[in-house]
Structure 1
Amino acid sequence: MLVESCVTVSQSVCKIICKYVLRFVNLAHQLSATKSTMLSSDGLSFISVLMCLILTFEVCVAEQSELICSHQPIVALAGDDVILPCYLDPPISASSETVEWTRPGLDPKYIHVHQDGQPVYLFQNPSYNNRTRLFVDELQNGNVSMKIFKVKISDAGKYFCILESMLKKASIQLTVGVVSTPIIEVVSNNNGRVVLQCESKGWYPEPEVVWLDGEGNLLSAGPTETVRGPDDLYTVSSRVTVEKRHSNNFICRVQQKDINQTRETHIYVPVQSPIYLIFWIIFIPLCIIVLLIFNMLIKYTKKIQMTLIKLEGDVTHVVKQSMLMVEVKPKVQKHNVNMNAVQLQLLVEGNQQQEDQREQLNRVQRSQTEETSGAGNNTGDTLKHRETQR
């Protein structure tokens, strides 16, 4: 209210001052025609006053410009970038102005401050760090719009744009939304009646759910169940019981009018006639039997393959053994000949040794016989000698 009152008073004062400024401009033009020697200290003072009046005139022009922000709420989806449009009309330069963007209820309340041609981050709210900027090149055209990057749900609210030196202030509303695609599933399908359930997770603000048939007619559904999670996002679900119609097409639509967002999913429920059911009753067991037979054939084929592989391995082993015998047989025969020669030589040597042993034995026997005969003769001679002495 204070800013608005100041603006009203300033506009009234400026209208009066502008009249006198025009008079002083005409007077200055007349003075420029006089001699330069007439320019005294009083003249210099007069020119100074004139300059001040000219500056006052510029301020009055600025007072005639109005700061305008969008009167319609700005809608953005979470994660997107958004521009809060705000400008001076008629356009005048705001390059030298201090531009403040604030949001009530925050501490600190400053979202973005632009002063002396550059941003000031000293008092900026931490949740907006590196997420805001002005269009600096457009300030000279009176464009003081602010851009917010990667909008969050917490960014939703009312913002103020303030030009302090011009005593200008305007507000704008930002609405942030989150959406998701609904999922439909068939809960039951009996006796020509189908129960469908639609669920959609992660909405903000809270949406509504409606059911439509394939022709766009609204269906009567049960009450919508709404759950708000710890992240402030809403999960909605709804059920509807329908009778199978000619189209059998149904639509679940989730919408949020505040953010002008709608998501929908279509489902087709096929007709199940008695013939269709009989077909499935026959077809399913038949498929199972075919699969079992096919499985048995696969197992039997694998068994035959394993047997063939085993036989092939045995044949390969026999062939290798035969080839090995062919290679080894000459060596074995040669080895056997050598062994026979060695055995024969050993046998001959053994027979020779036996002959030598027999000959030695005969010699010993003959020696013993001769010794025995000599001893007998000596005994006879001794007896004969004894008898003679007698």
Structure 2
Amino acid sequence: MSAVPASLCSTLLFVGLFVFVSADKKNITAESGQSVTLTCRAPNNNNDIVEWSRPDLEPKHVLVYRGGNLVSDDQHPSFKNRVDLQDRQMKDGDMSLIVMNLTINDTGTYECRAFTSGTNCRKKANRSVEPISIINLSVVDPPDPKIITAESGQSVTLPCRASNNNFIILEWSRAGLGTQHVVVCRDGQFTPDDQHPSFKDRVDLQDRQMKDGDVSLILNNVTTADSGTYECRVLMGEIHSWELNIIYLSVVGPPGQTGGDTEDGGKKDGGKKDGGKKDGSVGLISGLSVCAVLLVVVGGFLIYRKCKQQNDGSYQLPVELQKV
């Protein structure tokens, strides 16, 4: 048997090592409706073709980027208009994939490959290389929102915890505020410009250091106008995906308040002690008085009518008196 050239052995060893260490495998869990970033970074910047695929699909391509454009011819229809590269310039070899508006059907194994334009021989050689990144994505339905009830004037804590401390942005929002938020924190710093005026000087984080991912919100001096659905969103730095927590807050008036406050601070419709009983007694007495007046009027009318009949000419004496 002829000896294998040393250069060929070195080449095979290099290729074997490259295949073994090139694939970066990760497991990611996200909730339906969210967006997620699947990370992929090439070892060099010479690649100008990127393919993201899912082997269980037909066609299998999730995204194809070639010649500075997204190519949709071979793309699976379920991903059209829902995917993009995080950086189309692919600076520093960044070929990460963004998948928007996730559904349960997006669960699967995603593979990232990079190629360099050139001869057909080079393309085929490059395509035989193992994926650069393999990510197992699991999409689950979001949990049912927590329901918290508080009274007007109280302080309430809306709990939220990120999976770890490696996050870039924290956003607390409430439905109906438009583009403004309850509180926003970027890179550990509050950004009051994005805060809705109704929450200024009334909110704070339970732990400003956000240790162990604790990003719970304290809302002081709540009113019924604070009722609504609150969302706690955290952008994780490692995987560039959002974590979401939903809480419904219901703010009610103080106990015993049914008719609102009067101008002098008392309660309408029986707000005072035993006020309800007194109002009931007054109503009963008033009803009896009205009945008595009606009886007097009707009785008086009947007596008047009888007397009038006796005084007119048509009145006839009793038979016994007529005989006399």
Give the TM bin, normalised by the shorter chain. 0.3 to 0.5
TM-score by length of structure 1 reads 0.33
* Structure having greater relative contact order (Cα 8 Å, sep ≥ 6): 2
More helix by share: 1
Larger radius of gyration: 1
